[in-house]
């Protein structure tokens, strides 16, 4: 079964077949990791994103990697955390879908090593302890079902997020 690795890094520097972007539904760029990926990839990425014309929450779209080391970018739109009683299950399911749909789309495009940021835990304020458990569960299930997927790298940008994923991986 492929392995999961956890690193503290800027995802735009990661050499993998694909990196995943925590985008918004317009796919027209933004701040956080979305902004970093568009800056590093260059204007060609936005041009391709404009042709795609958006992506619903929890789904994934694939583009080229342009000036990034990665060959592809998988854009997925995480749920924004509202934390209203009763909404948690729906938001958990949408976040789980981001990982499942990104992995499936990457795999069917021949991707064998893929790097994820911590989706939804920045501007979208999804609690990172909760998000990291969902992410690790979905990645493990996918790796069990797809032995040819070689490596999934979880890329953390800060200590707090890194510790949450270390915990989730135990």
Residue ranges in contact with ligand APR by CB under 6 A: 10-12, 22-24, 30-36, 78, 117-124, 155, 157-158, 161
- Residue 56 or 110: the one with the smaller Cβ distance to ligand APR is 56
Length of the chain: 170
Which lies closer to ligand APR via its Cβ, residue 95 or residue 106?
Answer: 95
Q: How far is the CB of 145 from ligand APR (least distance, A)?
A: 25
Tell me the closest approach of the beta carbon of residue 8 to ligand APR, in angstroms.
Answer: 9
Element (H, E) at 62: strand 60-64
Nearer to ligand APR, 7 or 145 (CB): 7
**Least separation, in Å, of the C-beta of 108 and ligand APR?**
23
Nearer to ligand APR, 92 or 146 (CB): 92
* Least separation in angstroms between CB 13 and ligand APR: 8
Q: What is d(CA 4, CA 78) in angstroms, rounded to the nearest whole number? A: 21
Rounded least distance, CB 94 to ligand APR, Å: 11
Q: How far apart are CA 35 and CA 16, in angstroms?
A: 19
Contact, 155 vs 115, CB < 8 A? yes
Q: Return d(Cα 46, Cα 41) in angstroms, integer.
A: 9
| Coil, strand or helix at 128 | helix
Given the complex with ligand APR, which of 136 and 155 has the nearer CB atom?
155
Write out the two tokens for 76. 């997925």
DSSP letter (8 states) at residue 44:
H
């Amino acid at each position: 079964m492929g392995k999961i690795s956890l690193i503290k890094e800027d995802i735009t520097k990661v050499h993998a077949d694909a990196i995943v972007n925590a985008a918004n539904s317009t796919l027209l760029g933004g701040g956080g990791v979305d902004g970093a990926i568009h800056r590093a990839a260059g204007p060609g990425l936005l041009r391709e994103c404009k042709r795609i014309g958006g992506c619903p929450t929890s789904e994934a779209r694939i583009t080229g990697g342009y000036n990034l080391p990665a060959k592809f970018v998988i854009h997925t739109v995480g749920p924004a955390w509202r934390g209203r009683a009763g909404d948690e299950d729906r938001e958990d399911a949408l976040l789980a879908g981001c990982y499942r749909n990104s992995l499936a789309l990457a795999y069917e495009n021949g991707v064998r090593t893929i790097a994820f940021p911590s989706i939804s835990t920045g501007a979208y304020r999804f609690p990172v302890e909760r998000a990291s458990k969902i992410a690790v569960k979905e990645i493990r299930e996918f790796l069990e079902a797809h032995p040819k997927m070689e490596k999934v790298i979880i890329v953390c940008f800060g200590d707090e997020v890194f510790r949450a994923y270390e915990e989730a991986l135990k």
